[in-house]
A and B are shown apart, each in its own frame.
Chain A
């Protein structure tokens, strides 16, 4: 069957047996379209004819641009997913949430101290958390969001940093929170404080910076830059590749 006829139209209801088995109906913001059953939600939007402006970003699950809420028939349950990472379900009702007016505080990271009070001082609303766990349920990355907010209340920056590390800042947690917490902004603040002030730093990097500043590599660099192409090729292909990779 030709593609155009299998898509279904917006004005005429299709009988179930007219629709090929591999196509499923989905309701994009209430309008029905038939889309390939194996589509992601993003694929379905585009198949239906949407030119996405907001609501698509990296398309690989890293950027959080395509947060989507949906519901399947007969269920009261609101479900969450990234449009680029979620395969459509028959009769799903879906809407994208490409922007959420979340609070982000302006701060000078140089002047902050990684104290147990700092997260509460900047985002005092974290203390309004009622531990309902809706944020965790909403997280498409399956992070323990409520746990890291609880850790934030206790002032455990390291725990917040690690528990929130895989956050893609899609905003679904904040959109659902009855206490109006912006979890992901608490997370990034904690991670920055951890990376800047609390992470243990080794000796190799400062030693290397000192070497460069003292000009240790200048002669060697000058020499290699002066090589003819032929000599450079020789040196390249003769270089040792048997380093330990693990």
Chain B
């Protein structure tokens, strides 16, 4: 239920709706003029959080030493290991396998399935439950150029432009050319894609796309794909061993610098295990739970950039870790769902962002960074946002217009999760708009890979959000689901091929010892350890009373 003062603004939204509906029917660019290159640059420079003075700082150690990266990321990169690398016994592995996959989300499951198909045995190390990942939370869809009026080349152009031309071209080509095959493969796995009466895949628009290319499964697209992948992984218990609640905390190398497994941490017994593997794949996802610049996030509880930290210590180079994606439409009201994702599909179906006067102020489907920067401008410089009782601010996302454009019942059928989410808190989005503001959503950069999902470390592969290069400095909607599927598959296949000839030498944590020395040399104090594993939401009042001075057993 909206309070009366917000209802007053909603009446203005309703008043402008008939006119806006006419514009929408006349064509997308009639709704509001898309920005030129110069206009995009200006609004990003002035209003995107990446451009604020304290957003980035120089990293003093490791492969990217001297570069300016997102400050919160640098905090983790410049932190210490959770273990003492000199004390760890590397002579007796607790587990041995062909391929260790770190991260049991979409990318990890995809890699596992393709690895076993190519003859390898796999262990998946997972921080929480199998499938607990951002993959599960994607609502809107997956991009693939499947329509006759579309093509992988047009898809390529949209991605490169959306990424500000910084994307690695070979990665983009690999993504777009493989996309339709992934659609088919997932269908054969059992994914129930939305289809029209002829059985062709339903396609919707997304920010920065020049064609309708977004495939969906209602607004549970990620969940539908993830639960299919998870079910299939569980159908192979003899080939895939899943170690849940066992996140990785360090990579292990051999004496030639090849990836050779990892140290896992049992979250319940607090033991550390050694997994020896002939190849290692990192599919740990992103970093939303770092709450960069204090933003709320759409991300999963476990999205703490663990894989980034592990790979960095082992010597892998990061790419575009100076760039953060804020999803334009995070929920702002009610307070309980602040920061939650409102899928871009709402705008893909014709939903329009409007200010407190009910006025349009931006092309509804700009790439995410541009759209988000426009929202921030509307709420700050122009003061046209709507304030919530708890002090947040946002603009309206007019959803009722969707049914008027597409026919009664569209919202219920296409956005059941959104309807349910708001209904739980007394708001009917078929009749009332949603209040939205940018929310921390995606790690644009990551560990640099090539089109074979290889890193600079032999035997170390990365796929999905943890990788960097594909999306440049701004990912477009629907390309992350596609990313983890395409590159998860490629990583699985290539790792399975690689292990056939590789010989793993003596295991070592020398890279961790060296990294610790580097930290000491630049005088970084020993007060932070990483990877973070889980965010800390315990309030100060409780912390003041957590006065245990020493740790014995598992009771802190």
Contact = CB atoms under 8 A, between A and B. Distances in A.
A208 B211 CA distance: 15
Contact of B210 (A53, A195, A239): A239
A191 interface: yes
B388 interface: no
Given A199-B199, A205-B184, A188 B227 contact: yes
A245 B136 contact: no
Nearest to A236: B161
A143 B94 CA distance: 43
A189 to B, nearest CB: 8
Interface stretch (A12-20, A41-49, A89-97, A144-152): A41-49
A168 to B, nearest CB: 7
A233 B157 CA distance: 9
A165 B200 contact: no
A58 B406 contact: no
Given A38-B336, A57-B301, A161-B192, A205 B152 contact: no
B540 A3 contact: yes
Contacts of B3: none
A44 to B, nearest CB: 11
Interface stretch (B317-325, B414-422, B459-467): B414-422
B227 A58 contact: no
Nearest to B238: A106
Contacts of B424: 61, 85
B4 interface: no
A49 B538 contact: yes
Interface in A223-246: 224-225, 229, 232-233, 235-237, 239-246
A59 interface: yes
A51 B427 CA distance: 31
Contacts of A76: none
Interface in A43-101: 43, 46-54, 56-63, 65, 85, 87
Contacts of A38: 335-336
A57 B132 contact: yes
B165 A232 contact: yes
A202 B181 contact: no
Contacts of B220: 62, 165-166
Interface residues of A, number: 78
B534 interface: yes
Interface string B220-232: 1011100110011
Given A49-B539, A108-B235, A217 B177 contact: yes
Contacts of B204: 245
B264 to A, nearest CB: 15
B68 interface: no
Contacts of A166: 218, 220, 416-417, 420
A33 to B, nearest CB: 10
Nearest to A110: B188
A58 B146 contact: no
Contacts of A2: 541
Contacts of A237: 36-37, 161
A245 B235 contact: no
A60 B132 contact: no
Interface stretch (B9-17, B26-34, B371-379, B521-529): B26-34
Interface in B105-139: 128-129, 131-132, 134, 136-137, 139
A192 B301 contact: no
A59 to B, nearest CB: 6
Interface string A198-232: 01111111011100100001001100110001001
B190 A60 contact: no
> For A194, A195, A240, which residue has the most chain B Cβ atoms within 10 angstroms?
A195
Interface string B512-554: 0000000000000000000000101111111011100000000
A195 B190 contact: yes
A228 B256 CA distance: 39
Given A224-B153, A233-B37, A241 B540 contact: no
Given A221-B156, A237-B161, A109 B200 contact: no
Interface of B: 24, 27-29, 34, 36-37, 128-129, 131-132, 134, 136-137, 139, 145-149, 151-154, 156-158, 160-161, 165, 169, 173, 177, 180-181, 183-184, 187-193, 195-196, 198-201, 204-205, 210-212, 218, 220, 222-224, 227-228, 231-232, 234-237, 245, 267-268, 298, 300-301, 335-337, 340-341, 348-350, 365, 405-406, 416-417, 420-421, 424, 534, 536-542, 544-546
Given A49-B539, A224-B157, 7 more contacts: A189-B231, A192-B231, A194-B190, A200-B195, A202-B195, A233-B165, A235-B157
14 contacts: A48-B542, A58-B136, A65-B128, A192-B190, A194-B192, A196-B189, A203-B198, A221-B153, A224-B153, A229-B165, A237-B161, A243-B212, A245-B204, A245-B350
